[in-house]
Structure formats: C-alpha cells, structure tokens
Amino acid sequence: MEPESEFQKLERKIVQCRLCPRLVEWRERVAREKVRRFRAEKYWGRPVPAFGKPDAALIVVGLAPAAHGGNRTGRIFTGDRSGDWLYDALYQFGFANQPVSTSMDDGLMLHGCLITAVLRCAPPNNKPLPEEIANCQDYLRQELLLAGGKRAVIALGQIAFRAFLRTWREAGGETAGLRLQFRHGGEWVLPGGITLISSYHPSQQNTQTGKLTRPMFHEIFRRARGILDERE
Ligand code: SF4
C-alpha cells in the first residue's frame, strides 16, 4: 500500500474537524432528520473533503456543501442542483468523464481538476458566519500550497473569490497592481502565471433567476480549457 500523501493527511484531518459548533450541530442534525426524498439514505453528516488530485492544473473553489447535497453524499457538489451545473460544465470541456455526480461510487473521475470549497460543512441557509469562514480558511490555504500543478483557478461566487485571494496573499502571493474585483467572467493572471477566473456561483438563486445561464457558465470553463491547452 502506498504511504499516505500530505494531501491525503490533510483531507483526513478536515473530515474529522469540529471547530465550528454551529456548523457541527447543523450538519449532524440535517443528517439525522433528513428530508423525505432521501429518508432511506445514510447521510455523510461530516466535513466534505476536496475532490480530485492535488496536482490538477485547474482548481475550482466553491462556497460550501449543500445540506442535502454534499452533506448527504460526502462528495463536494454532489447530489444537488449546483453540482448538476458544475459537473455538466466540467464534462463538456474535458475535465470529467461523465456529466453527472450522484454518489461517491458513481464512477465519476475528474481529469486535471480539483474541486474544493471555502467551507467544508454545510451552513444553515447557505450563509456562513465570518468566523466560520476564518476557521476553515487554513484548510484552503494548505490545499493550495500542496496543490503543485495548478495553472488556473475558477472561483465560484464572491465569497470564494475573496477567500481564494486571502489565502493567496497569506501564502505570500502578490496581487499589487491588479484591479481584482469580483464579476462574472473576470480573468487575471497572477504573478507566477496562475490565471484566476471569477464566475457567478451556480446556485439556484442565480440559475433560476436567469442571472447565470448555461452558456454563461460554459464560457467560464471554455476559457479555462483554452488557457490550459495554450500552456501545454
Ligand atoms: S467549516 Fe471547516 S473549520 Fe468549521 S467545522 Fe467544518 S471543517 Fe471545521
């Protein structure tokens, strides 16, 4: 058996974390009480680790697991509507072997992509508190440090965008002289050559209102694919 990598050690630590009392209580309560349509399922009910390989060229940063999505299935963006959008886009541009993600054993594999999030526990109403974001920040920072192959980062939503930039700066990354303001389709080349792309989050709040459409979302991944292909 291969020895556990630093990245695997980190992910194992994340899954055991109980640092935010409000989120621990919520994730476990949701897992106990469930919703009717998933009543027969055993919920994960723990922090959700990153999905993919740490040497991936593309890193996608989301907000947090959904109560009945990742918090149920144990895989990030899996079993909820946001995930339907994300994995479809990843598949369309060659980052995944299938367009859907339904459970941990559904055969999904990512190609050159790592998906992670600002928070690893589902927050009530998808609204984390500032101190909870701060508590989880170090996990993202450590992941980014261990992720050696990254060439492009897609931040899904304003919170992910800000969290990525904070971790980038904390890790010694420079952003001086760059006008870094969140918008859909923003693109910046950071010192060191990593391209940061900002996108609206594919939450139902955005997709059901038409703020984010499929073509708009696909365009983000088309650009990431183009950037990575150019650099090969
Ligand atoms: S949100 Fe992050 S820091 Fe808070 S309990 Fe979950 S894993 Fe730990």
pLDDT tens string, the chain, 232 residues long: the values are: 788 999 999 999 999 999 999 999 999 999 999 999 999 999 999 999 999 999 999 999 999 999 999 999 999 999 999 999 999 999 999 999 999 999 999 999 999 999 999 999 999 999 999 999 999 999 999 999 998 877 999 999 999 999 999 999 988 888 888 999 999 999 999 988 999 999 999 999 999 999 999 999 999 999 999 999 997 6
pLDDT at 150: 79
Closest CA to 146 of 10, 1, 4: 10
* Contact of 199 with 154, CB cutoff 8 Å: yes
- Does ligand 1 come within 6 angstroms of the Cβ of 190? no
Compute the distance from residue 222 Cα to the ligand 1 centre, in Å: 32
pLDDT at 205: 96
- Ligand 1, residue 128: give the atom nearest the CA: 1
- Does ligand 1 come within 6 angstroms of the Cβ of 64? no
Compute the distance from residue 121 Cα to the ligand 1 centre, in Å: 6
Compute the distance from residue 225 Cα to the ligand 1 centre, in Å: 31
pLDDT at 32: 98
pLDDT at 218: 98
CB count within 10 Å of CB 54 equals 22
Three-class SS string for the chain?
CCCCCHHHHHHHHHHCCCCCHHHHHHHHHHHHHCCHHHCCCCCCCCCCCCEECCCCCEEEEECCCCCCCHHHHCCCCCCCHHHHHHHHHHHHCCCECCCCCCCCCCCCCECCEEEEECCCCCCHHHCCCHHHHHHHHHHHHHHHHHCCCCCEEEEECHHHHHHHHHHHHHCCCCCCCCCCCCCCCEEEECCCCCEEEEECCCCHHHHCCCCCCHHHHHHHHHHHHHHHHHHC
CB count within 10 Å of CB 180 equals 15
Q: Count Cβ neighbours within 10 Å for each residue of 188-226 and write b for 16 or more, e otherwise.
A: bebeeebbbbbbbbbbeebbeeeebeeebbebbbebbbe
Instruction: Please list, in sequence order, all residues whose beta carbon lies within 8 angstroms of the beta carbon of residue 88, skipping any fewer than 6 positions away.
Output: 99, 100, 214
Instruction: Please list, in sequence order, all residues whose beta carbon lies within 8 angstroms of the beta carbon of residue 130, skipping any fewer than 6 positions away.
Output: none
Compute the distance from residue 119 Cα to the ligand 1 centre, in Å: 6
207's tokens = 């997709």
pLDDT at 172: 86
Best residue for ligand 1 mutational test, from 24, 25, 121 (most atoms within 8 Å of Cβ): 121
Quote the CA–CA distance of 47 and 29 in Å, as a whole number.
13
Q: Report if pTM > 0.85.
A: yes
Backbone phi and psi for residue 51, each to the nearest 5 degrees, phi listed first? -125, 130
- Ligand 1, residue 135: give the atom nearest the CA: 3
pLDDT digits (tens, 9 = 90+) for 47-65: 999 999 999 999 999 999 9
